[in-house]
Structures are given as C-alpha cells and as structure tokens.
Amino acid sequence: MALLLGLLIFSFLTTAILIVPFINLLYKLRFQRGQQRTRDAFGKLTPIFNRFHSAKAGTPVGGGLLVMIVVAILFSIVFPLIRFVGVPITEVYPLRDEVNILFFTFIAFGLLGLYDDFMKFFGVDKKFFGLRLRHKFVIQWILALIVALLLYVNLKIDILNIPFVGVFKLGWWYVPFAAFTIVAFTNAFNITDGLDGLATGLLMIALFGFWVISASILDTPLSVFLTLWLGALIAFLYFNVYPARIFLGDVGALAFGATLAVVGLLLGKILALVVIGGLFVIEITSSLLQLTYKRFYGRKLFPVAPAHLWLQHIGWEEPKIVTRAWLGGIMLAIFGVWLAVI
C-alpha cells in the first residue's frame, strides 16, 4: 500500500507540473471550445444547453490527452521497475493480456475522441472527414466488441456475479454483454461531462472505490494502473473545477468511460460497477428516456435532459449541482464497495 500511495503522489506531481504548460499549448494551437451550437440526436439545436454553456467558450479542450499520456508513460516505466527491484507482483489474469486490454481500451477510445475533437474544433467538413453521431456509435461498438472478445478469449471471463443472487455462466453471450456495458459507460460518461468538474470528480470517486476492490483481490497490475490514473486525475481536477481552465474533451470522455467499464468487468463486479457509477447511469438513462419519448410521441418527456442540465434549468447553480453529485457519488461508491466485498 505504501508503494501505491507513493505512486499516486508521483503521478499527481508529474501531471501538476505538466498541466499549465499543456494548457498554454492548447491556447497556442487554438484547441478551444467555440460558441455552443450543440444539436441533439435528431439534428435540432438545443437552446437551453447552449444558453447555459455559452460562457464556457474559449476554454481549452483536450485535457484527457495529457492524463492518458502521463498514465501510459509512467506505467511503462514504473511497472517494469517495481518488478526489477523485486517487489512482489500478484496477478489475477495473465499479466500481458490484462495490461494489453487496459491500454487498448484507454488508447483506442481516446484516439476516437481525439479525432472527433480535432475535426470539431478546427471546423473540418463532416461530409468528407468528420464523424457523424451514428458513425461514432458504430466505431464504439466495433472497439467494444474487440475488447469484449479479448476479455472472453484471452482472460477466459464469462461469468456474471450478482451478490445475493448467484453466479451465472454466460458463455459466448458474455461478449455482447461486455460490449454493451462498455458502450453504455462510454456514452454515459460523455453525457455527464457537461459541468465543470462533474464527470471528472465522479470518476475520481469511482476509481477510489475500484482501487480498494483491486487491492483486496491482490491484482497488482490493475492496482498500479488505477493508482497512476487517480494521481493524474486529481491534478487535472484542480484545473477542471468551476470555473474550469481546461476540459477533458471527447479524447478523455470516451477513453475514461470505456476504461471505467473495463475495470469493472476485469474485477468481475458488474453490480458494483452499476452502483459505483450510479450517477453516470442516471445521466444516460434520463437522456435515453428523453430521446425515446421524442421519437415515439414527438414531444419532450422532460423540459431538458440529461439530469444535471434539468437541475440547471430549474435554478440550481453549477457548483451546487457538482458538489452534491460528488456527495452522492461518495455514498454510492461506499455501497458499491460493500457489495463487492461481501
């Protein structure tokens, strides 16, 4: 545990040193949020969303890329080093396969988000080079199916463990189940990433929960990965809280949501994933209900969605929403960890 805490501090300090120069670089590259003219899944403008987010124009976007780079480089240096000096390594799965799955998810979904960010912020014509919503969704499913196959074939994971109910062997059905979980959390995180510090803070809380679980089952590679990710994320969050000086961008939102799901799948704690990530689930559920109702009935179910935007709409201030969401996330994380260890 002392080693992990030291690595968390090291990752935090590394990111803290790099983030201000990185923000300045984003300004120079003009990688900044423009005036909001966001559209929903039906291609219609979302005036309520754009009204609340117009003040965020000009803020640099792409902080998720820095977090990804720091975690990837530090892991590639630190993990071989701790093995070399003789620190005991305990593995739940074959080391190479587990690490490959984690970083394939982290990097592949991040690159998809980075491409979308690049095309969006530099005004590239979507007709020729950009990705429409349905295209991104298809690519997410392709990547998620690849990850799910690796979990099933390479790591031999094919069970679903539900506390108080039992263990269910899914066989090949595990592949579509795992892929759905990954796609769902990818988009849930992306939807939640709408207020300063909201998604990042909830992710930090969730990762602390999974960090405890991974340490309890002695999965050293996963524990080290989560440690480095947490350290970098805390440093980023310092600059992401209200008023944010930098945003994750799709590069971070897609990578972090997908990887959070994979961490839950690797730990075999799907119910804990749903509970610990409960506020992400609420956010995407509110959006799906809104879209479904509009498609079938031609009108809105809620005045606005997702849930955090509805709270803004009824008069809650942004810091109040975020702070109370964090408190809810803490209690859900405690409950999820309890479910995972009983």
pTM of the model as a whole: 0.92
Give the pLDDT band of residue 132 (cuts 50, 70, 90). confident
Rounded Cα gap, residues 332 and 203, in angstroms: 12
Asked if 193 contacts 308 with a C-beta cutoff of 8 angstroms, the reply is no
The pLDDT of residue 98 is: 95
Q: What is the mean pLDDT of residues 304-310?
A: 90
- Least Cα distance to 106 among 69, 158, 149 occurs for 69
What are the Cα distances from residue 136, in Å, to 42, 121, 140, 250, 297?
15, 16, 6, 11, 26
Angle between helices 249-267 and 220-240 (to 10 degrees): 150
Distance CA 152, CA 26 (A): 39
Burial class (CB in 10 A: 0-12, 13-18, 19+), 180: middle
**pLDDT digits over 309-339, tens only?**
999 989 899 999 999 999 999 999 999 999 9
Q: What is the tens place of the pLDDT at every residue in 138-182? A: 999 999 999 999 999 999 999 888 888 888 899 999 999 999 999
Averaged pLDDT of the chain: 89
pLDDT of residue 58: 83
When pLDDT is cut at 50, 70 and 90, the band that residue 43 belongs to is low
Output the CA angle 264-270-271, nearest 5 degrees: 125
Angstrom distance (rounded) from CA 47 to CA 37: 8
Residue 240: which of 186, 201, 190 has the closest Cα? Answer: 201
Cα separation, 258 vs 250, in Å, equals 12
Q: What is the DSSP letter of 247?
A: B
**For a pLDDT cut of 90, what percent of the chain falls above it?**
66
In the chain, where the domains are located: 2-341
- The DSSP secondary-structure symbol of 213 reads H
Taking the alpha carbons at both ends of the chain, their separation in whole angstroms is 21
The position carrying tokens 């944010």 is: 244
Assign 128 a pLDDT band (cuts: 50, 70, 90): very low
CA atoms within 13 A on the CB side of 288: 9
Tell me what pLDDT residue 123 has: 60
Residue 164 token pair:
């108080």
Tokens standing for residue 110? 């991040």
